[in-house]
Amino acid sequence: MKATVVTYGCQMNEYDTHLVESQLVSLGADLVSSVDEADFVLLNTCAVRGKPVEKVRSLLGDLRKVKAQRPLVVGMMGCLAQLEEGQQMARKFQVDVLLGPGSLLDIGAALESNERFWGLQFKDELHAHIPPAPTGKLQAHLTIMRGCDHHCTYCIVPTTRGPQVSRHPDDILRELDSLLTAGVQEVTLLGQNVNAYGVDQGARLAGYPTFAELIRMVGRSGVQRVKFTTSHPMNFTEDVAAAIGETPAMCEYIHLPVQSGSNRVLRRMAREYTREKYLTHIEQIRRHVPHAVLATDIIVGFPGETEEDFQDTLSLYDEVGYDSAYMFIYSPRPGTPSYTHFQDLPREVKTERLQRLIVKQKEWSARKNAAKVGTVQQVLLRGDAHDPAFLEGHTSGNHPTVVPKALGADRPGIYPVRIGHATPHMMYGQILGPDGQPLPERPRHTPEAAALSSPLQMA
Ligand code: SAM
Ligand code: SF4
């Protein structure tokens, strides 16, 4: 069987795609990169906003036409699969396999079945399952928990992914070990709310560390770099900031979604913290991690958001001085409390506010990135940039970075780079040698240069 998985949405979905792809390979499937070559197409879906849902609907429509012309098995997994909205789509577009986020390990049973297979249970076996390490990659995701116990009024995730279940620390450390053996240098710990790790449905689990303790344990494993996402301010503790500060492997990139700077909106979102409390966490982070690079998520145009509320978000942005932000227009999702109880704002109001927020974000990113010019950053270089004379990667602060290929830096890895130029979205620099001077650039456009570049092109 030739199979392909098309992934929408967050890093959690990327992790699940890797897990399911590994299962498919162990079942004897060949993974192919395009839908045209495949006889099994599996869509790993996202239901957090309306746009990714519409993308899935459109691809399912195309696949139904293909199915009319040749044998093709179509599957749907991820958040949308768990919802009535997704199941209606699955019926309409003749989806053969439907796997909710808790039933991914049913993929084998689904493919063996001669009938339509729908798996929508949340199964415990998933939490102990350890997918094989990705081969040849320097970066990997590592899920430490699934589901979410919060009930933010705009969010569909607690419905699609169920209540929070923390993975046992032994399973996490075993998976980490296999990633390190496979050569992974940077690991991103994943969960909807990593700060609540070890406390499921309000109860602390015996034998589980806190998230701060888990950071310290992971830091002792020998991994070079660790990041995490997502960190909910409600469960953030100063000990998490302290653990980041004292653990050399922890990246200085810290993503702490605020969603809004207005206490009135935060209350309507049921975020369970105030602007003042959030700023206390920022102060703790800055104290324990002096070079912290701060990122956030912001939703603009939440129902009932006034111009004054939006001004509070803009002023909070200035007060924190974020390095970057993921900015979203509020998207009403059927099944969420805000969809049921609140009136959506006009589209023009939401888009106009987003434009103003983007201007603010660009100003701050430009200012923050410009301050890095002249500094030396440790950059994880993954492989060729768009222009193959250059390599791309990212700093420990998660800044996308591009450097010219250099002699003596032949393998993907973490290199010191002096930043020479920065835009709001990109940094440019040169790889430094052991003497602190830039390594000579590789000659371009010659057969020798092409030959020399091959190891990194493989990355
Ligand atoms: N658990 C994370 C937290 O609480 O910070 C967030 C996970 S959510 C999948 C990722 C981001 O999507 C959220 O931080 C929020 O900004 C955005 N989001 C979620 N629901 C949304 C909605 N209905 N409309 C717009 N953005 C939304
Ligand atoms: Fe959604 Fe809130 Fe849970 Fe994050 S914490 S996944 S935004 S309900």
Q: What is the mean pLDDT of the chain?
A: 95
Nearest to 25 by CA among 7, 2, 41, 43: 2
pTM of the model: 0.94
Report whether 102 contacts 109 (CB < 8 A): no
Measured over the CA atoms of residue 233, residue 235, residue 240 and residue 244, the dihedral's sign is negative
Atom 7 of ligand 1, nearest CA residue: 192
Distance from the alpha carbon of residue 83 to the mean position of ligand 2, in angstroms:
16
Atom 13 of ligand 1, nearest CA residue: 297
Tokens encoding 344: 């959506």
Neighbours of 302 (CB within 10 A): 26
417 pocket-lining for ligand 1 (C-beta < 6 Å):
no
Please say if the pLDDT value at position 449 is more than 90.
no
Tokens encoding 299: 């939703």
Using DSSP, state whether 350 is helix, strand or coil.
helix
Beta bridge partners of 420: none
193 pocket-lining for ligand 1 (C-beta < 6 Å):
yes
Please report which helix (H) or strand (E) contains residue 338, including its range.
helix 337-341
Tokens encoding 439: 């390594």
Nearest to 53 by CA among 160, 141, 126: 160
pLDDT of the residue at 444: 75
Looking at the CA of residue 336, tell me the nearest atom of ligand 1: 23
Using DSSP, state whether 400 is helix, strand or coil.
strand
Using DSSP, state whether 42 is helix, strand or coil.
strand
369 pocket-lining for ligand 1 (C-beta < 6 Å):
no
- The model's confidence at residue 446, banded by pLDDT at 50, 70 and 90, is low
- How far are the Cα atoms of 233, 261, 280 from residue 275, in angstroms, in the given order? 10, 6, 9
What span, in angstroms and rounded, lies between the C-alpha atoms of 102 and 123? 6
Distance from the alpha carbon of residue 49 to the mean position of ligand 1, in angstroms:
8
C-alpha dihedral, 254 to 259 to 260 to 263, nearest 10°? -100
Looking at the CA of residue 156, tell me the nearest atom of ligand 2: 1
Of 405 and 114, the one with more pLDDT: 405
pLDDT of the residue at 322: 98
79 pocket-lining for ligand 1 (C-beta < 6 Å):
no
396 pocket-lining for ligand 1 (C-beta < 6 Å):
no
What span, in angstroms and rounded, lies between the C-alpha atoms of 187 and 177? 11
Query: Angle between the 169-181 and 211-219 helix axes, to the nearest 10 degrees?
Result: 30
Mean pLDDT, range 443-447, rounded to an integer: 66
Beta bridge partners of 137: none
**Weakest mean pLDDT among 172-176, 341-345, 450-454:** 450-454
pLDDT of the residue at 51: 95
Residue with tokens 């450390």: 173
| Helix ranges (DSSP H) in 139-274 | 157-161, 169-181, 211-219, 238-246, 263-269
Mean pLDDT, range 61-71, rounded to an integer: 96
Question: Residues near 42 by Cβ (< 8 Å), separated by ≥ 6?
Answer: 3, 4, 5, 6, 20, 74, 75, 76, 77, 97
Residue type, 10: C
333 pocket-lining for ligand 2 (C-beta < 6 Å):
no
Tokens encoding 13: 């979905």
Please say if the pLDDT value at position 135 is more than 90.
no
pLDDT of the residue at 246: 97
**Weakest mean pLDDT among 130-139, 238-247, 436-445:** 436-445
158 pocket-lining for ligand 2 (C-beta < 6 Å):
yes
- The model's confidence at residue 411, banded by pLDDT at 50, 70 and 90, is confident
Q: Among 328, 351, 361, which residue has the most ligand 1 atoms within 8 Å of its CB, making it the best to mutate? A: 328
Report whether 63 contacts 69 (CB < 8 A): no
Q: Which ligand is nearest to the CA of 147?
A: 2
Question: Residues near 108 by Cβ (< 8 Å), separated by ≥ 6?
Answer: 23, 27
Looking at the CA of residue 271, tell me the nearest atom of ligand 1: 4
